[in-house]
Chain A
Amino acid sequence: MQFGIFTVGDVTTDPTTGRTPTEHERIKATVAIAKKAEEVGLDVFATGEHHNPPFIASGPTTTLAYIGAQTERIILSTATTLITTTDPVLIAENYAKLQHLTDGRVDLMMGRGNTGPVYPWFGKDIRDGIALAVENYALLHRLWREDVVDWQGRFRTPLQGFTSVPRPLDGVPPFVWHGSIRSPEIAEQAAYYGDGFFHNNIFWPMSHTKQMVALYRRRFEHYGHGAADTAIVGLGGQVFMRPNSQDAVREFRPYFDVAPVYGHGPSLEEFTEQTPLTVGSPQQVIDRYAAMRDDVGHYQRQLFLMDHAGLPLDIVLEQIEILGTEVVPVLRREMATGRPAHIPDAPTHASLVEAAGGGRDTTVHAVDDVTGRVADAAEASR
């Protein structure tokens, strides 16, 4: 089971001090947070992608490459890569490049993005959200698996004899998770391809998350990828911890009350009761999250949102420290208890290479029209 953190990269005023970090500070903080996550033994760091204020999370591959250069072990992911408004050709190229640079420590979480105006900025229409996710991912899936692609669709310029470079590392594309909060079509998409399904979970009651995961599992089996309980599931979560739970509530409440996404709505008490937000002692977090598998079955990945709502960097780093040293080691043991042997772990580059029967160099050598040399296709370069 993988544990990690995900960030949306919001620039938000700290309500307790009135101070708003600069973009520069938040960008650097993202790097510090990722390095801290590796240091305390977490498995995954994931960053969102947004193209509008108050977020600094544009250019995710730039951020992840920079973090990749300063870390050794942690898996770098997105949360989410916008499959709707980003050209699938650029996704194929950028993430394959990132995969090479980080020696395979990359996977992707696909998402649609939910801010209407962003779509037209990239020449798209939010009403086509699902159709864009379907078509663009179908193309991305082929670009990583076929050396030469001829393609025509509704949303993008046709391709003739196109090769996306670099080819995936060791001939194995990054593992893909499909993230969706409430669209059955996306759970269906994840199931169809046998990819992972990630439910962000943090703004929804478990009864809803449960339905989405159950649908994905049922359809994963339907499409012949294996038994429903072997489907690859990830969940989001959010926590704030202090040794004494009253201290956690007192410290977090001002951030919660005016947070851009959930402030001015349900009380902290209502929100913690109705969603996975847990504000309290590390033990309360352990108890709450160990119980998640009762609702969704044994799952593969748990990501926590730690830096948001204007929490200052030093507190975020402290929280990650508590998460990594006090919570996750216990949760790892808890989650392993009673986990049947046939339940797979989340795929990694190493496990995907092994499943493919070993790595191979898939470099495609082009026709050189100066020398006339015709290079051989992938199989020859083994």
Chain B
Amino acid sequence: MTTSTTRRVAVVSAGLRQPSSTRLLADRLAEAAGRQFAARDVDVDLRVIELREYAHDLTNHLLSGFPSPTLGAAIEAVTTSDGLIAVSPIFTASYSGLFKTFFDVVEADALEGMPVLLGATGGTERHSLALEHAMRPLFTYLHAIVVPTAVYAATADWGAETGGDGDGAGAPTGLTRRIERGVREFADLVAVRPPRQAADPFAVPTPFEQLLAEN
């Protein structure tokens, strides 16, 4: 089998309103990622998952233990991707409950080794560290590979492009610059890896002799 030059990237957005600034940020990240992959001669197959559409199915999954067909397809789109862009609004010092619920119903080891670019939106810049103290640990727990730059967009960021972002690199700074930086780190990680093989427990089970021997 020859190595494919296509990479699948899932974009999960947990915004609740329509239109949603969280979705707006997710789209900016996805679009920038597309350009970065193109620059590396890698085709990208983007799959956008708007969690709002699955809110009821997610609750049903929590209660019944299995996903509806549409939610099952969304989960599979994420777990079979080569990289993930995950964006949540920040509520009460952390990611939204909808965002957490989605990753709660994804199998614990399904994101292992998957490059993840984090994004978050909020009313003011003061919530930006939620990316570092809440979102990053969540994906570290899942053994995903979280890129160093996470992208936060406060309401004010949708205006001026010259605001300081404290990275010491001087002007021009702002949202676009952070998006480009995060996406570059993300694309570097995804592009150098072979397409990810999602583990299929039904394909090759652990042989029973081994299960017996491990005891």
Binding site for B on A (CB under 8 A): 130-131, 134-135, 138, 153-154, 184-185, 187-189, 191-192, 203-205, 208, 211-212, 214-215, 219, 223, 262-266, 270-271, 274-275
Contacts and interface: CB of A to CB of B under 8 A. Distances in A.
Interface string B20-64: 000000000000000000000000000000000000000110111
A274 B68 contact: yes
A33 B45 CA distance: 56
Given A211-B202, A212-B202, A270-B68, A138 B212 contact: yes
Nearest to B65: A203
B74 to A, nearest CB: 15
Given A135-B215, A212-B202, A271 B207 contact: no
30 contacts: A130-B211, A134-B211, A138-B212, A138-B215, A184-B201, A184-B206, A185-B206, A185-B211, A188-B205, A188-B211, A189-B208, A191-B208, A192-B208, A192-B209, A203-B66, A204-B66, A205-B66, A205-B69, A208-B66, A262-B63, A265-B59, A265-B62, A265-B63, A265-B64, A266-B63, A266-B68, A270-B68, A274-B66, A274-B68, A275-B66
Interface residues of B, number: 21
A135 B212 CA distance: 7
User: Chain B binding site: helix, strand, loop or mixed by DSSP?
Assistant: helix
B214 interface: yes
B207 A188 contact: yes
- Report which residue of A208, A223, A274, A275 has the largest number of chain B beta carbons within 10 angstroms of its beta carbon: A274
A203 B66 CA distance: 7
Interface in B187-215: 201-202, 205-209, 211-212, 214-215
B208 A188 contact: yes
Q: Is the interface of A mostly helix, strand, loop or mixed?
A: helix
A4 B207 CA distance: 32
B45 to A, nearest CB: 23
Contacts of B202: 184, 211-212, 214-215
4 nearest A-B residue pairs (beta carbon) = A265-B63, A192-B208, A265-B64, A266-B60
A215 B66 contact: no
Residue of B69, B211, B214 with highest tally of chain A CB at under 10 A: B211
B114 to A, nearest CB: 22
A212 B201 CA distance: 10
A153 B215 contact: yes
A153 B211 CA distance: 13
Nearest to B68: A274
